Homo-oligomer: A and B are copies of this chain.
């Protein structure tokens, strides 16, 4: 449970605090860092010297004087290391390279058909992408801190520690994966590989750079064909005992109802997922399978044109989504709920107010009045970006390998 502490841990904590501050706050001066973190100037100098020495941080000129000695600009050295983030989606694999400040340096995407791809193919693609990016960017493999992998499905994770994510087991129903391990990928690539659920990596990205930045209690809700959620509690991504927390799409809000792909009935996904919504709008024709985005566009158009059935379908989504969100509000008491995912983006763009009103109507007053509903600010890149935060987070906490 609790862990012992030693003097070394103090340095590690403060070092991480500083690096994280520079990452999220950008360039500043030593004195500002001291003020913001509460560390004494002496300590800032000391830790910064260590970081400068190992090239993690660089001095980048001076800020104008404000009456005294000019401030030295310090900031993370983007070129100090490279991070890869990969997004294994339902239709394509995207691998992106980032520098230490999480600027995207380049990316590779390979689509695949029929929502089917074997783990071995993914491994091959990842190796190909990484190699291509490394030579394109003319970067030495030794500079790579690691690869983060966002996958659709449950990632089982023996130890809670992020450092052990490499030994994870992936169950991705959508892709037909059962108990898949990527343990050998790391050896082939020559650097650590970290795996997490795509919704969770997106949440991580949203928490570091998006609408949930700096928020201690936030929930990121992702709605596409299906629905998932990532939960930030006390400033950190909540994983549960085996990393499968946040399966909001399969919580039940009805005692009966349409059968869900998970095998059960009444799941949130069967009320607010794009496929389900289309099915409800047009009946069980399977007309839109594989073309859900077009279907939703058609639905929204029909709504604008005032078609009653379309209106019913949209109202139903708003209502059920509000109810499903209120369950999160009552259980987690978050400061913010962020709606994303391709379908979530679209309905939130037009109906954010209505959804928020429905959510508050179903919530208890106190937590309901505090929960702010917002749209996601990050686009499709969020999965890969969030995945890249996995090795970066480890770097921040633990420093350079060895």
Contacts and interface: CB of A to CB of B under 8 A. Distances in A.
B250 A253 contact: no
Contact of A245 (B171, B229, B241, B332): B332
A122 interface: no
Given A1-B235, A37-B4, A252-B327, A334 B370 contact: no
B367 A242 contact: yes
B370 A235 contact: no
A240 B253 CA distance: 22
A362 B13 contact: no
Interface stretch (A14-22, A61-69, A143-151, A286-294): A14-22
Tally of this chain's copies: 2
A83 interface: no
A14 B5 CA distance: 6
Interface residues of A, number: 66
Contact of A331 (B171, B243, B247): B247
Interface in A243-285: 243-248, 250-255, 262, 264, 266
A366 interface: yes
Contact of A326 (B214, B252, B326, B331): B252
A55 interface: no
A314 to B, nearest CB: 16
Contacts of A39: 4
A238 B231 CA distance: 13
Interface string A208-221: 00000010110000
A239 interface: yes
Contacts of A241: 216-217, 333-335, 370
A17 B38 contact: no
A10 interface: yes
A10 B3 CA distance: 11
B364 A255 contact: no
A320 interface: yes
Contacts of A367: 240, 242, 244-245, 247
Contact of A323 (B38, B231, B233, B252): B252
A9 interface: yes
A240 to B, nearest CB: 3
B2 A331 contact: no
Contact of A38 (B4, B248, B320, B326): B4
B235 A233 contact: no
A330 interface: yes
Contacts of A160: 216, 234
6 contacts: A9-B10, A240-B334, A242-B370, A244-B364, A245-B331, A251-B331
Q: Sorted from nearest, which 6 A-B pairs have the closest CB atoms?
A: A240-B333, A5-B13, A245-B333, A217-B241, A247-B330, A251-B327
Given A242-B370, A247-B333, 7 more contacts: A1-B214, A5-B9, A217-B241, A242-B333, A244-B366, A247-B331, A255-B323
Interface of A: 1-7, 9-10, 13-14, 16-17, 20, 37-39, 154, 156, 160, 171, 214, 216-217, 229, 231, 233-235, 238-248, 250-255, 262, 264, 266, 320, 323, 326-328, 330-335, 361-362, 364, 366-367, 370
